[in-house]
């Protein structure tokens, strides 16, 4: 993994959640949309804006999250800080793209035209290393 904030299982879980939310429909592979789903899950207002399916355009964060909450550290703040650095955004982008390609080759995602849909393997496998 090139990114320094998420382990391999977490990257898998982020991608898995993205495709399960859209199951049984096929969806175009879009790394920016996967990252944006994770930002939404963390209650962040930040977004990755893409010019096309493969080009990183910008990371927009009009309303940054607080560094800490009553429960302690804020995962949204940590991800926003990481993505705000171009090298962090590129590293996570690359990891998600490569993991998604591996998931297709390994039978976790089924390629349908220009899109992908979750297979039974993806639906049943919550973690790939544990």
Local confidence pLDDT in tens for the 130 residues of the chain = 899 999 999 999 999 999 999 999 999 888 999 999 999 999 899 988 876 655 556 677 777 777 766 667 788 888 989 999 989 999 999 999 999 999 999 999 999 888 999 999 999 999 988 7
What's phi and psi for 127, nearest 5 deg?
-135, 145
Q: What predicted TM-score, i.e. pTM, was given to this entire model?
A: 0.88
β-strand 56-60 against 68-69: which pairing, if any? unpaired
Q: What pLDDT does residue 70 have?
A: 64
Are 85 and 78 a contacting pair, CB within 8 Å?
no
- Where do the domains of the chain lie? 8-115
Written as six digits, the tokens of 97 are 């793209």
């Amino acid at each position: 993994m090139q990114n320094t904030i998420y382990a391999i299982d977490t990257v898998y879980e982020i991608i898995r959640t993205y495709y399960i939310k859209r199951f049984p429909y096929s969806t175009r592979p879009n790394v920016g949309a996967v990252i944006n789903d994770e930002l939404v899950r963390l209650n962040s207002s930040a977004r990755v804006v893409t010019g096309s399916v493969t080009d990183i355009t910008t990371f927009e964060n009009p309303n940054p999250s607080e560094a800490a909450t009553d429960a302690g550290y804020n995962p949204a703040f940590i991800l926003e800080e990481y993505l705000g650095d171009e090298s962090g955004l590129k590293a996570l982008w690359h990891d998600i793209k490569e993991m998604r390609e591996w998931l297709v080759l390994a039978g976790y995602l089924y390629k349908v035209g220009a899109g992908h849909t979750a297979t039974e393997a993806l639906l049943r496998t919550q973690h790939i290393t544990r």
